[in-house]
Copies of this chain bind each other. A is one copy, B any other.
Amino acid sequence: MQRKRIENIPETITREISEKIIRNELKPGERIYEAKIAEELGVSRSPVREALRILEKNRLVELIPRKGARVAEISSAHIEWFYDVFEALYGLAARKVTEKAGEQDRADLGAALEKIEAAASAKDVEKYYEGIFEFAAIGMRAAANPLLAQILMDLWPSNRRIQYATISRRKDTLEENAGFFRKIYELLDSPDEVEAEAAVRAYARNEKQVALEMIYGKKRENDRDGNTKS
């Protein structure tokens, strides 16, 4: 008997609004009214309120007490802030994975990588995103740090939002990007966790660069990048 996980009402509402923000149907700065959402979905305001708190955790909305909810802004500064944190935390995750991952984890990561590469060569963006999500999720499990996992999972929707904004250009760079994952995968097996961390950090910096150039033109040169390759 399939004990299907029943989705909460707040989770459903969260997903609903989440998608709209990621797809930019709800614009940055736009007000979100509890009563309006509640009526649209035929529920009371209580679960809507809870959904808005979850969306705040996901950094998709900003809540101001007694003033309400707005769709979170997104600027070049936001993108830098996001990827700097992303780099630090996924770097840590990579180091932990090389230290702790077992056979099963490595096999699962390999399977996810295949999915990523298949999607990349087929230029299937949806499948590609599914793949990197799986890769990340398996990595979280293997890193064996639930606190880290939860922080990163809370941040994932913001990641998707930024990626979505750059989706048109991304179709061309899918295979190049998949290359990062292969490299990461191979280094996760190495005995040197520093190299694995470096690979993930390089990926994060690349994502940041792509997003910034994509959205705000290429107004930033890498003066002193410090990218030491040995």
Q: Which residues of A contact B (CB under 8 A)?
A: 8, 50, 53, 57, 59, 65, 78, 80-82, 84-85, 87-89, 91-92, 96, 145-148, 151
Contacts and interface: CB of A to CB of B under 8 A. Distances in A.
Given A50-B53, A85-B89, 12 more contacts: A8-B65, A80-B145, A81-B145, A81-B146, A81-B148, A84-B96, A84-B148, A85-B151, A87-B92, A88-B91, A88-B92, A151-B151
Number of copies of this chain in the oligomer?
Answer: 2
A91 B85 CA distance: 11
Contact of A148 (B85, B92, B146): B85
Contacts of A81: 145-148
Contact of A147 (B53, B59, B96, B145): B59
18 contacts: A50-B53, A53-B53, A57-B57, A78-B147, A80-B145, A81-B146, A81-B147, A81-B148, A84-B92, A84-B96, A84-B148, A85-B89, A85-B92, A85-B145, A85-B148, A88-B88, A88-B91, A151-B151
Most buried by B among A8, A65, A82, A147: A147
Contacts of A147: 59, 78, 81-82, 85
